[in-house]
């Protein structure tokens, strides 16, 4: 387990403020956040490369806060894998064993075993400069695992790979993690990576942890505008809460209003987060009385996507609406009057910082 | 020929033509160097007796020996002290770093006589460093250590700047990974950073050595004797005439060319880690 408690650090204008997170033993945690959130800095603090101003870091039950990196038993992998260019594949993997004083026979056995299990045997004498992205990643993983670390820290390990290699590398890493019961903390900016790999997602921004949970929890119920943005809501509308009735709250957005599930105090500034795929589009004449939010407006633009159509809708407020190809009964054109239908449970409310915090929860 | 190949060919030829604008003024400098070599070489080769005389002169031989040996000692001292300084500078962001960098560059901008005066005042028998070192038997005035001291002083920036640039090119992430794999800071430096800086260290050493053996003003101010080759050329120029000094200069050029060539040949693969070629 990796336990970070109340860790603080100031670097120039940037501050990690009292950051706490737990990576359970044998689990895969993905740390997400926008650029400049402090994710890599936090990883480097855990790895021991940056001295922290306060707080404690515990790895596998042992407090390592004051220990140098070489005494922490934490494997570290950077985005570019940081393979040693002056050593060949075999020497790269053997490096940690050599530093730890493992005798040459045991070293050779361990390296041979890793070379074979990572399918690197044919490349053992190659220098790392000539390897492909996927091969480099396998060497870096084998090198990090050679010394049997208590935890692995990965800094955007898939970002430099081409899309095909990325998926297979992700599956490989996840399989290795499961098979070996590894504790991994990985930095990522990609939601798909989190869904594919993570048991737990931690979102941070500006040096502060914003939300922790399973990928489904965090991306379905974001609690902060930054998390909502990472969660990929295509519609994030500024609004104000109005009256609440029957377990629903009215939201005043632009020149219109919609209802969202949950009870919120009136007059609070909120963000209404709606996925483009959750909105249905139809002709005004087709619907009269439906137990849904009914928003009449005008089509501004339509774009063909690989899934179908994406429609921009405006007046009384802007919406982006995805229409799957198989459900398209009519092609809308700019200027068409249409009705957008939206279920109140598909409107997720995020309180904007500074707004009242009492009241019920959404969805 | 496919379109993109034709385009690339055309592009290459075009850039070749446009380079003429750069070659013409550039060749003025190359021409000056070539002419300078010729004005030394042609008279010497026309009158080889001077060359034979210089080559068999024990004073000339001793001057070469002293110069090259002092140059090697200076480079050795720079390697031991300048390498850690270059590394520290490459890894520091402290606000006082600029002051240290300026101090390192001072020998580069000073007239050589001023550098010589500084070395003399510092290492003379009553000097700030000369006096205490004299007490343990290290004399600098008119002695071999004085030549080495002057050579080290003038070549500091050449070595430190070249090596610092090399260290700067080694990503700190490589050291971090080495540390995470169990290496202490010193072992990470020796096993990762240093090998990756080999070419810059060699280049810095070559620059510093070349600068050191060519030093004249700073050397004669602290140690006229034992005579180094530049002092001997100047002395023979004043006493024996152009022909005598030309012959020694020609020998020096030949030796340096051979040494530089051998050095480059022996180190052509050092610090290159690529199995694609």
Residue A20 is predicted with a pLDDT of 95
Task: Band the pLDDT of B9: cuts 50, 70, 90.
Answer: low
| Same-domain status, A256 and A222 | no
| Same-domain status, A42 and A62 | yes
- Give per-residue pLDDT as tens, B72-114: 999 999 999 999 999 999 999 899 999 999 999 999 999 999 9
CB A92 within 8 A of CB A84: yes
Q: At residue B34, does pLDDT exceed 90?
A: yes
Structural domain contains residue A39:
yes
Give A311's DSSP letter.
Answer: E
Distance from CA of B170 to the nearest CA of A (A): 10
Structural domain contains residue A356:
no
Chain B positions touching A185 (Cβ under 8 A) are none
CB A50 within 8 A of CB A30: no
| Same-domain status, A113 and A210 | yes
Structural domain contains residue A300:
yes
* Distance from chain centroid for Cα A161: 17
| Same-domain status, A101 and A155 | yes
Per-domain boundaries in chain B: 1-46, 51-266
Query: By three-state DSSP, how is residue A317 classified?
Result: coil
| Same-domain status, A279 and A172 | no
Distance from CA of A85 to the nearest CA of B (A): 6
- Give per-residue pLDDT as tens, B182-225: 999 999 999 999 999 999 999 999 999 999 999 999 999 999 99
Residue A307 is predicted with a pLDDT of 79
Structural domain contains residue A78:
yes
Structural domain contains residue A113:
yes
Report the DSSP pairing between strands A28-32 and A184-188.
parallel
Structural domain contains residue A312:
yes
A127 touches chain B (CB under 8 A): yes
Residue B105 is predicted with a pLDDT of 96
Beta-sheet strand order (sheet of A248-253):
A256-261, A248-253, A235-245, A269-274, A348-351
- A143, B181: Cβ pair inside 8 Å? yes
Residue A362 is predicted with a pLDDT of 40
Containing A113, the helix (H) or strand (E) segment is: helix A104-117
- Give per-residue pLDDT as tens, A225-283: 999 999 989 999 999 999 988 889 999 998 889 999 988 888 889 999 999 999 988 88
Structural domain contains residue A220:
yes
Q: Is the ipTM of this complex over 0.85?
A: no
Chain A positions touching B177 (Cβ under 8 A) are 76-78, 82
| Same-domain status, A217 and A321 | no
| Same-domain status, A77 and A216 | yes
Q: At residue B243, does pLDDT exceed 90?
A: no
- A44, B176: Cβ pair inside 8 Å? yes
A206-215: buried (b, 16+ CB within 10 Å) or exposed (e) per residue? ebbbbbbbeb
| Same-domain status, A239 and A153 | no
Residue A292 is predicted with a pLDDT of 84
Q: How far apart are CA B266 and CA B269, in angstroms?
A: 8
Distance from CA of B180 to the nearest CA of A (A): 5
Return the number of other C-beta atoms located less than 10 Å from residue A175's C-beta: 10
Return the number of other C-beta atoms located less than 10 Å from residue B256's C-beta: 15
Residue A272 is predicted with a pLDDT of 93
Beta-sheet strand order (sheet of A279-282):
A279-282, A337-342, A293-304, A308-314, A319-324
Residue B78: partners with Cβ closer than 8 Å, 6 or more residues away: B152, B155, B156, B159, B160, B204, B205, B208
| Same-domain status, A220 and A254 | no
For chain A, strand residue ranges (E) read: 2-11, 14-23, 28-32, 54-59, 62-63, 74-77, 151-155, 184-188, 200-205, 208-213, 235-245, 248-253, 256-261, 269-274, 279-282, 293-304, 308-314, 319-324, 337-342, 348-351
A96 touches chain B (CB under 8 A): yes
| Same-domain status, A127 and A61 | yes
User: Which of the pair, B65 or B7, is modelled with greater confidence?
Assistant: B65
Selecting from B182, B191, B274 the residue whose C-beta is nearest the C-beta of A100 gives B182
Chain B residue whose CA is closest to A48: B180
| CATH number of the domain encompassing residue A24 | 3.40.50.300
Q: How far apart are CA A60 and CA A183, in angstroms?
A: 9
A91 touches chain B (CB under 8 A): no
| Same-domain status, A100 and A83 | yes
Q: How far apart are CA A119 and CA A129, in angstroms?
A: 18
| Same-domain status, A91 and A218 | yes
Tokens encoding A297 = 């407006």
For residues B158-164, average pLDDT: 97
- A49, B181: Cβ pair inside 8 Å? no
- Give per-residue pLDDT as tens, A53-85: 999 999 999 999 999 999 999 999 999 999 999
Say how many CB pairs under 8 Å bridge A and B.
80
Provide the residue range defining the domain that includes A8: 2-228
Residue B188 is predicted with a pLDDT of 97
Domain boundary, last residue among A228, A256, A281: A228
Phi-psi region of A11 (alpha: psi -120 to 50; beta: other; left: phi over 0): beta
Residue B10 is predicted with a pLDDT of 57
Residue A361 is predicted with a pLDDT of 41
Q: At residue B129, does pLDDT exceed 70?
A: yes
Chain B positions touching A126 (Cβ under 8 A) are 275
A163 touches chain B (CB under 8 A): no
Selecting from B173, B182, B183 the residue whose C-beta is nearest the C-beta of A78 gives B173
- B181, A144: Cβ pair inside 8 Å? yes
CB A84 within 8 A of CB B174: yes
Domain count, chain A: 2
Q: Which long-range contacts (CB under 8 A, 24 or more apart) does A63-71 make?
A: A68/B179, A68/B184, A68/B185, A69/B176, A69/B179, A69/B180, A70/A99, A70/B179, A70/B180, A70/B181, A70/B182, A70/B183, A70/B184
- B276, A129: Cβ pair inside 8 Å? yes
- A130, B276: Cβ pair inside 8 Å? yes
Asked: is B51-266 a CATH 1.25.60.10 domain? The reply is no
Selecting from B174, B182, B273 the residue whose C-beta is nearest the C-beta of A96 gives B182
Query: Picking from A101-105, A304-308, B34-38, B262-266, which range would have the lowest pLDDT averaged per residue?
Result: A304-308
Q: How far apart are CA B6 and CA B14, in angstroms?
A: 12
Q: What angle do CA A115, A182, A110 make, to 5 degrees?
A: 25
Q: Which residues of chain A fall below pLDDT 50? A: 357-363
Q: At residue B64, does pLDDT exceed 80?
A: yes
Domain boundary, last residue among A228, A262, A280: A228
CB A127 within 8 A of CB A151: no
């Amino acid at each position: 387990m990796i336990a970070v408690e109340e860790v603080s650090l100031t670097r120039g204008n940037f501050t990690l403020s009292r950051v706490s997170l737990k990576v359970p033993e044998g689990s895969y945690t993905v740390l997400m956040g926008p650029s400049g959130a402090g994710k890599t800095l936090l990883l480097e603090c855990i790895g021991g490369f940056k001295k922290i101003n306060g707080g404690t870091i515990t790895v596998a039950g042992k407090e390592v806060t004051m220990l140098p990196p070489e005494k922490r038993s934490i494997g570290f992998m950077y985005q570019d894998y940081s393979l040693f260019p002056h050593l060949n594949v075999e020497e790269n993997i053997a490096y940690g064993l050599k530093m730890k004083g493992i005798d040459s026979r045991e070293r050779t056995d361990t390296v041979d075993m890793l070379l074979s299990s990572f399918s690197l045997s044919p490349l053992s004498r190659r220098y790392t400069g000539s390897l492909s992205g996927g091969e480099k990643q396998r060497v870096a993983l084998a090198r990090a695992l050679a010394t049997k670390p208590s935890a692995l820290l990965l800094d955007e390990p898939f970002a430099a790979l081409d899309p095909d290699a990325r998926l297979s590398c992700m599956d490989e890493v996840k399989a290795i993690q499961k098979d070996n019961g590894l504790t991994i903390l990985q930095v990522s900016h990609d939601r798909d990576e989190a869904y594919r790999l993570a048991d737990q997602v931690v979102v941070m921004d500006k040096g502060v942890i914003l939300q922790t949970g399973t990928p489904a929890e965090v991306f379905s119920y974001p609690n902060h505008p930054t998390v909502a943005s990472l969660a990929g809501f295509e519609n994030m509308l500024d609004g104000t809460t109005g009256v609440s009735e029957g377990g629903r709250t009215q939201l005043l957005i632009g020149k219109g209003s919609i209802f969202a599930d949950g009870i919120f105090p009136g007059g609070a500034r909120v963000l209404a987060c709606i996925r483009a795929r959750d909105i249905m589009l139809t002709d005004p004449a087709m619907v009269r009385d439906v137990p849904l939010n009914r928003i009449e407006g005008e089509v501004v633009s339509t774009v063909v996507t690989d899934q179908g159509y994406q429609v921009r809708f405006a007046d009384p407020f802007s919406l982006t609406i995805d229409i799957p190809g198989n459900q398209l009964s009519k092609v809308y054109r700019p200027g068409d009057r249409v009705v957008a239908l939206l279920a109140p449970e598909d409107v997720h409310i995020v309180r904007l910082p500074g707004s009242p915090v009492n009241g019920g929860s959404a969805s | 020929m496919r379109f993109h190949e034709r385009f690339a060919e055309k592009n290459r030829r075009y850039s070749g033509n446009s380079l003429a604008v750069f070659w013409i003024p550039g060749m003025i400098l190359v021409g000056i160097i070539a002419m300078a070599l010729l004005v030394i070489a042609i008279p010497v080769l026309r009158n080889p007796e001077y060359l034979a005389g210089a080559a068999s002169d024990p004073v000339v031989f001793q001057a070469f020996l002293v110069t090259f040996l002092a140059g090697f000692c200076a480079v050795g001292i720079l390697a031991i002290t300048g390498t850690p300084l270059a590394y520290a500078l490459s890894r520091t962001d402290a606000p006082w770093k600029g002051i240290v960098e300026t101090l390192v560059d001072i020998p580069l901008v000073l007239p050589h006589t001023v550098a010589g005066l500084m070395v003399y005042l510092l290492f003379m028998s009553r000097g700030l460093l000369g006096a205490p070192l004299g007490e343990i038997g290290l004399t600098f005035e008119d002695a071999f250590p004085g030549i080495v001291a002057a050579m080290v002083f003038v070549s500091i920036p050449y070595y430190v700047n070249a090596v610092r640039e090399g260290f700067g090119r080694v990503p700190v992430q490589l050291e971090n990974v080495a540390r995470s794999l169990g290496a202490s800071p010193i072992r990470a430096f020796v096993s990762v950073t240093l090998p990756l800086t080999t070419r810059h260290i060699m280049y810095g050493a070559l620059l510093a050595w070349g600068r050191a053996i060519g030093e004249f003003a700073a050397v004669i101010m602290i140690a006229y004797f034992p005579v180094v080759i530049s002092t001997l050329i100047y002395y023979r120029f004043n006493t024996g005439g152009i022909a005598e000094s030309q012959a020694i200069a020609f020998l020096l050029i030949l030796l340096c060319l051979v040494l530089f060539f051998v050095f480059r040949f022996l180190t052509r693969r050092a610090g290159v880690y690529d199995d694609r070629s």
